[in-house]
Chains A and B, each alone.
Chain A
């Protein structure tokens, strides 16, 4: 039994293993523009092949055919060699879990054995095949960089459209399985770290304001319960009737305002009760560097505090990258793969503490 458990997290083959062991792809390692608040930007384009029923209604051999079409389109990319193909049916559940924890695929895709993801080495581009739509092209960029992410998505989209018959209607635009995505098929979002808005209890007002202009605010981790580690994403809700450029401009404008609000809240905290803020941040620092057992939830909160400390200049010597890496590393699947064995909840809490201490020590040694 113990052997079986250990085997279930055994290392996978070369390229896939490398993805699974790297918490942050090259595209997200450095802080991007407005990196003190904006963690990353993402653009997702939903596309379908005219010939086949949508994945919600297709047969297994259609799924296979779609995948084959997409792969041959990809083979013609000038940088085809940069892409790695991972079929869901060929990797164990924990590996799919890690891809979800890394945001490279959705939980929905992870559950589809006919699904696949094609990821560029730097992880700036990922292409989900047979998710709710035949294709969900995603691009990622560090910080507030929606235009840059869109440019990349637009380019890859053109490359694909050159080889595939994409379902498009002059009046309704790109045709998608769900009517909420029709038109541009574009969902753009910015992941924001908003600890001060949460601490000052002004988050609610900001959210309300954002929702009034037709954007959506959601938590990022945590399977449909709540936001952890004060991470939120702001994204466009409407996909039809506005051009991609207009949608991006709207989102960008709002994201900038939220970022400004967060910075103001940070100033207020420093001004009103600096000692209380420092106390909180240093306690969290102490826990991360000394705890012997820590839950995912607590780790997320402490990492958020220390990251805030780094951005306020109160904590020195820890690069923000090390903390952003921890967001992924402490997740259950990633954690168990790192240790190469299946762990119960209490064991996980212990190993998580070990991993955090080790990772921070190494990061501080590097400076």
Chain B
């Protein structure tokens, strides 16, 4: 490919530039790239020691792992041997969303929460590969749906007492309204 700018020398520098909300691919030769950098139209090249930062950089809010490289390496390790577990597993299918193990392998994304059940036999090794573990040890969703509301109500009542003691009546009034709303809701659930 020839450099887009001078159309003479071969393009060896490939840059993705963001202009407004559009991504533009630039293919340039070394000289044109250097010139554009001097003009401030292109970012400076990154020094070697920054390389680990540069790879897979993401804006702050985006999904952190859009490319499941780990999945790739995991699935790659099955190899293509005949009669390998890989072929049999391709038959696994989620009854709810219809996703097959093969599709999951290609996309790296589940189709629905039932997929976890459908693919269960294959998931533990995958999760161990990604997370180094296959058992959840964190939070569970509240089983009693009103338990946290009750907890919050207690917190609010304590806060109300504090505000009244501090004579912060405006805030106290706000908290009182919040308590009423919450009490109504709990009442509504019970009834």
Residues of A within 8 A of B (CB): 42, 48, 50, 52-54, 56-57, 76, 78-79, 93-94, 97, 100, 103-108, 131-132, 138, 154-155, 157-159, 161-163, 166-184, 186-187, 189, 191, 201, 203-205, 207-208, 211, 214, 216-227, 232-233, 235, 237-244, 246-247, 295, 297-298, 332-333, 345
Q: Is the CB of B148 within 8 A of A241?
A: no
Q: Which of B19, B47, B123 contacts A201 (CB 8 A)?
A: B47
18 contacts between A and B (CB under 8 A): A56-B109, A93-B21, A154-B139, A157-B141, A158-B142, A162-B148, A169-B116, A171-B135, A180-B68, A201-B47, A204-B51, A207-B53, A219-B57, A221-B59, A222-B59, A240-B135, A241-B137, A297-B43
Residues in B neighbouring A189, C-beta threshold 8 A: 60
How many Å lie between the Cα of A3 and that of B43 in the bound state? Answer: 33
Residues in B neighbouring A345, C-beta threshold 8 A: 19
Q: Is the CB of A56 within 8 A of B52?
A: no
Residues of B within 8 A of A (CB): 15-16, 18-21, 23, 40-41, 43, 46-54, 56-65, 68, 70-71, 96-97, 99, 107-113, 116, 123, 126-127, 130-142, 145-146, 148-149, 152, 156, 178, 181-182, 185
Q: Which of A182, A217, A225, A295 contacts B127 (CB 8 A)?
A: A182
How many Å lie between the Cα of A159 and that of B16 in the bound state? Answer: 42
Q: Most A CB atoms within 10 A — which of B48, B61, B62?
A: B61
Residues in A neighbouring B178, C-beta threshold 8 A: 78-79
Q: Is the CB of B112 within 8 A of A57?
A: yes
Residues in A neighbouring B60, C-beta threshold 8 A: 42, 103, 189, 191, 220-221, 233
Q: Is the CB of A186 within 8 A of B109?
A: no
Residues in A neighbouring B107, C-beta threshold 8 A: 56
The 5 closest A-B pairs by CB, nearest first: A241-B133, A173-B136, A204-B49, A167-B113, A158-B148
Q: Which of B54, B133, B145 contacts A162 (CB 8 A)?
A: B145
Residues in A neighbouring B131, C-beta threshold 8 A: 182-183, 238-241
Q: Which of A184, A207, A247 contacts B136 (CB 8 A)?
A: A184
Q: Is the CB of A220 within 8 A of B149?
A: no
Residues in A neighbouring B108, C-beta threshold 8 A: 178-179
Q: What is the CB-to-nearest-CB distance from A153 to chain B, in angstroms, rounded to a whole number?
A: 10
Since A220-B60, A295-B40 are in contact, a sample of 7 more A-B pairs with Cβ atoms closer than 8 Å, ordered by chain A residue number, is: A53-B111, A57-B111, A106-B59, A157-B141, A159-B148, A178-B65, A298-B40
Q: Is the CB of A225 within 8 A of B130?
A: no
Q: Which of A57, A97, A226, A298 contacts B54 (CB 8 A)?
A: A226
Q: Is the CB of A56 within 8 A of B111?
A: yes
> Interface residues of B: mostly helix, strand, loop or mixed?
loop
How many Å lie between the Cα of A279 and that of B21 in the bound state? Answer: 35
How many Å lie between the Cα of A108 and that of B78 in the bound state? Answer: 31
Q: What is the CB-to-nearest-CB distance from A9 to chain B, in angstroms, rounded to a whole number?
A: 12
Residues in A neighbouring B71, C-beta threshold 8 A: 179
How many Å lie between the Cα of A326 and that of B67 in the bound state? Answer: 31
Residues in B neighbouring A171, C-beta threshold 8 A: 134-136
Q: Which residue of A lies closest to B48 (CB)?
A: A204
Q: What is the CB-to-nearest-CB distance from A195 to chain B, in angstroms, rounded to a whole number?
A: 13
How many Å lie between the Cα of A208 and that of B145 in the bound state? Answer: 44
Residues in B neighbouring A211, C-beta threshold 8 A: 52
How many Å lie between the Cα of A159 and that of B70 in the bound state? Answer: 34
Q: Is the CB of A207 within 8 A of B52?
A: yes
How many Å lie between the Cα of A175 and that of B136 in the bound state? Answer: 11
How many Å lie between the Cα of A57 and that of B11 in the bound state? Answer: 39
Q: Which of A167, A204, A222 contacts B52 (CB 8 A)?
A: A204
Q: Is the CB of A184 within 8 A of B139?
A: yes
Q: Which of B21, B61, B97, B141 contacts A166 (CB 8 A)?
A: B141
How many Å lie between the Cα of A176 and that of B149 in the bound state? Answer: 26
Residues in A neighbouring B53, C-beta threshold 8 A: 203-204, 207, 217-219, 226-227, 232
Q: Which of B63, B127, B182 contacts A108 (CB 8 A)?
A: B63
Residues in B neighbouring A100, C-beta threshold 8 A: 59, 61
Q: Which of A79, A158, A201 contacts B49 (CB 8 A)?
A: A201
Q: Which residue of A lies closest to B146 (CB)?
A: A162
Residues in B neighbouring A233, C-beta threshold 8 A: 60
How many Å lie between the Cα of A171 and that of B60 in the bound state? Answer: 30
Q: Is the CB of A162 within 8 A of B138?
A: no
How many Å lie between the Cα of A97 and that of B20 in the bound state? Answer: 9
